[in-house]
Amino acid sequence: MLAIALTSAAPLSAAPERAPQWREYGPAVFEEARRDGKLVLLNVGAVWCHWCHVMDEKTYADERILDVLERHYVTTRVDQDARPDLSLRYERWGWPATVILTADGSELVKRKGYVPPEVMLSLLEAVVADPTPGPSVVPEPPVVPGATALSAEQRRYLMDQHDLFYDTDNGGWGRRLKLIDADSLEWAVARGRSGEIEQEKRARRTLDQALYLEDPVWGGFYQYSDESDWRSPHYEKIVQIQAVNMRAYAQAAVLYGEERYLRAARRTAVYMTTHLGGPGGTFFVSQNADAGPGLSGREFYAKGAFARWISPLKPAVDRHVYARENGWMISALSQLHQASGERRWLDRALSAAEWVVLNRADDQGGYRHDETDPAGPYLGDTLAMGQAFLDLYVSTADRRWLELSVRAAGRIEKSFKDPETGYISAVISAGLTGEVSRPVRHPGENIQLARWANLLSRYTGQTEHRVMTEHAMRYLSSEAVINGYALLPGILLADAELGSDPLHVTVVGSRSDARTRQLYAEALALPGAYRRIELWDRAEGPLPHADVEYPELERPAAYLCDSGACSAPITEPGRLKGRLLPAERT
């Protein structure tokens, strides 16, 4: 039922004879509720979500529940992949998330996950009898802007939280649900590179354990394990997980010299291009956990390659092409290209980027989510594409991509900046009132924005990009954010990067010279996530941020720069990594 409502993919179960009348979410839903004296039931789900399908089959097919809904509720449903504004608002409550609202948009109840029929019936009747906010509705504390840098106390607190949530028995951060948390892993890697051996062990154990979530037949990673030993996967495959894992394993392969990590990243890229490849080199959104009625994901994914191929039922693919998800994948493929030196991954990233620019760009430097959006625009799409363009600039040294990244930053500053602090996730549709009309600021998006804008400022030298980082940091360093979330190591990463210069490598030479290209490939393969890698062909004019003077030589040369001081020219291929500090080589 959910698949029918949200995507063109085949349904996973037979449609019930009777189902709720799901309206399209928007102001008209609340107008109908006001007119008819009803409440609003909002169901937020996902095409790939197993428990969403179970709730359709059991809860929303129950005649008693349908009767109550028809008499007292206006029912509306959204696909969280299609509506980032609602996804980020209610991500702590799903999926599926069940939200009951008044006709004026005030929240009454929020329930997380599958709600069995008896529980749902009791809940619906109780809210009708007493339509006042329940214990799940807690006002959010006001956000008082903090400083542009963390205090020593805040750093210590966030580091303690990072250590506290590490599972010493099984690896990973969190005690039950297991997946690679990108920021937690990256912070452990960074601490390991600074000499904390225990942190390096934690990072590598997490990478090793997460390989149990890799599909051994098609490649790619299942979303997470619902048991702490990493061996009980939820079989859906979503783009975000593939992008996070591809980037993590590509970077780890360079850092630790592990071929099996690079193999995992490659296999993920093969899975994406083979099974989730979209038009013009783009990527679709997800592949379902289950294959269909009577064939669960556990049964299907246990099959070998031939048995999967001949199976009449296969997990459905959500065939939407979203700018945000493609931005994530473009960045991951760029990282894989830099780590492996394999041109095919860069070519695919470039194809996807060209398609998105042609089909999803607006006229202000930003990007739509889908071909047409029912709401928005959304910060995530322009942010992900801005990051992707900067990654492509690093991979190609083609200044067009840097210019597009700069334009994306301008669009974000114009449309998504909260006047007080931080950046909002979406421009809210006109006509909404109450809680649902309040713009959401999301820590994850503000972390990504702070890190990207800071790195962008290093490439452009433009003050406004650093100012963007500082504006996001004032939100991230607020006590409401620091104390409101259990685990936010990304704030530590953003704070550390804002306060330090990236590893800076410039290759000076003609782009047509094979030695220039070889030196640049070696620069791209240097370890580390916080880097400024540039190619300067004098025929193309000055670098966008010409903060270092380089001598004119007869042959190409690379320079390692740190805090304004650069190495002697490195002209021999193969010697670049040897000029790094010992801690940077590992």
Greater pLDDT, 585 or 476: 476
pTM: 0.94
pLDDT tier, 37 (very low <50, low <70, confident <90, very high otherwise): very high
Interval 370-377 mean pLDDT: 92
Greater pLDDT, 3 or 522: 522
What percent of the chain shows pLDDT beyond 90? 85
- The pLDDT value recorded for residue 577 is 75
Contact assessment for residue 349 and residue 357, using Cβ atoms and an 8 Å cutoff: no
Place of tokens 């270092």: 548
pLDDT of 387 > 70? The answer is yes
Greater pLDDT, 585 or 450: 450
- The pLDDT value recorded for residue 581 is 55
Q: Which two tokens stand for residue 225?
A: 């394990």
Q: For residues 356 and 323, what is the distance between their CA atoms, to the nearest angstrom?
A: 6
- The pLDDT value recorded for residue 367 is 98
Interval 107-124 mean pLDDT: 96
Per residue in 166-208, pLDDT (tens digit) is: 999 999 999 889 999 999 999 999 999 999 999 999 999 999 9
Per residue in 130-170, pLDDT (tens digit) is: 999 999 998 888 999 999 999 999 999 999 999 999 999 99
pLDDT of 6 > 70? The answer is no
Report the run of H or E that residue 98 belongs to, with start and end: strand 97-101
Across the chain, mean pLDDT equals 93
| DSSP-assigned letter for residue 573 | T
- The pLDDT value recorded for residue 232 is 95
- Helical residues (DSSP H) of 148-291, grouped into ranges: 152-164, 182-193, 197-210, 239-256, 259-275
- CATH superfamily membership of 2-129: Glutaredoxin (3.40.30.10)
Place of tokens 């452009």: 460
- The pLDDT value recorded for residue 585 is 54
Any idea where the domains of the chain sit in the sequence? Answer: 2-129, 503-585
pLDDT tier, 94 (very low <50, low <70, confident <90, very high otherwise): confident
Closest to 233 in 3D by CA, of 243, 244, 246, 220? 220
Per residue in 233-243, pLDDT (tens digit) is: 999 999 999 99
Q: For residues 539 and 532, what is the distance between their CA atoms, to the nearest angstrom?
A: 21
Per residue in 48-61, pLDDT (tens digit) is: 888 898 999 999 99
pLDDT of 428 > 90? The answer is no
Question: Alpha carbon 504 to chain centroid distance?
Answer: 26
pLDDT of 369 > 80? The answer is yes
Question: Alpha carbon 168 to chain centroid distance?
Answer: 26
pLDDT tier, 5 (very low <50, low <70, confident <90, very high otherwise): very low
Q: Which two tokens stand for residue 248?
A: 């993590």
Interval 64-77 mean pLDDT: 97
pLDDT tier, 576 (very low <50, low <70, confident <90, very high otherwise): confident
Phi, psi of 322 (to 5 degrees): -100, 140
Place of tokens 């928007």: 26
Per residue in 268-314, pLDDT (tens digit) is: 999 999 999 999 999 999 999 999 888 999 999 999 999 999 999 99
pLDDT of 317 > 90? The answer is yes
